[in-house]
Amino acid sequence: MANENYNLLCDDFYLDMYVNTQLELPTARDTILTFCERVQKQYPSMCNFYRRENNYYLEEDSSTGRYRWIVLEKDRIGSGVVNPALPEAAYSQDRLILELIPYMLGVNHLDIDSLDVTFGMDFDYTGNHDEVIAEALLGASAFGGLLDLPSCRPIDLSPAMVIALSGDSRLQGRISVESRTSIFEPDEKDQPTDKAISLFFTIRQFRRPDVKFDALKSFEKQCRIGEELMAEKIVPLFVRPLMNIIAQKRFI
């Protein structure tokens, strides 16, 4: 797989993996702690362990802006790296998690409902996010045509789309761009925000009922497809237009 430095295209980049399960994950104290200790053995700097509601987290120090994390939820296991130098830094952690969960958490091929690989990007912008997204992505589309109406402007714009990537539709891609500008107070629309416009591109593989699900093999395939589509579609059609509009508005 390629080693694209996505950090050059955005203010923050993150690679996440989620294993979605049919059954609830074990919650016994010894099981949770033993699993986290095993992960920490591979990544000693992951020292921050805590529980929030019914989720269990193990993280590196997040104040550095570049850190690893894992989470055990009710029926989902998450693994990710924020601002990895290269994607392989995240992939190696995800492979470890996939290798450990059958033996340490009892998650086998029958239990996995789907596997997600997500490429995420944040674009810092202190102005109106909805207007940036509209200018960058709507253009001459049917939705963009609505903005030609007198006194019309977007006030809640977070476009998303799911596409089938296989004939049986069990392999899917989801692209979404999320505005952080509030819609509840109209006067806030022109006020600066310290939040970022977020882009998420997820490759999801659902388990097929007639084939034993090989999580590691599926993961490698999903990462490869994700990187290919990032290069061919997501970066040129979504990322660069957002970058260009933000750059233009910063100099107005």
Average pLDDT across each block of 10 residues of the chain; the chain has 252 residues. List them in order: 80 97 96 98 97 96 94 98 94 98 96 98 94 91 86 89 97 97 58 79 95 96 97 96 92 69
The predicted pLDDT at position 194 comes to 65
Q: Does pTM surpass 0.85?
A: yes
Q: How far apart are the first and last CA of the chain?
A: 40
- Give the distance between the most distant pair of CA atoms in the chain: 63
The span from the CA of 129 to the CA of 43, in Å, is 37
Helix/strand/coil percent split, the chain, to 5: 35, 30, 35
Domain boundaries of the chain, sorted by first residue: 6-250
For the stretch 209-249, pLDDT in tens is: 889 999 999 999 999 999 999 999 999 999 999 999 999 98
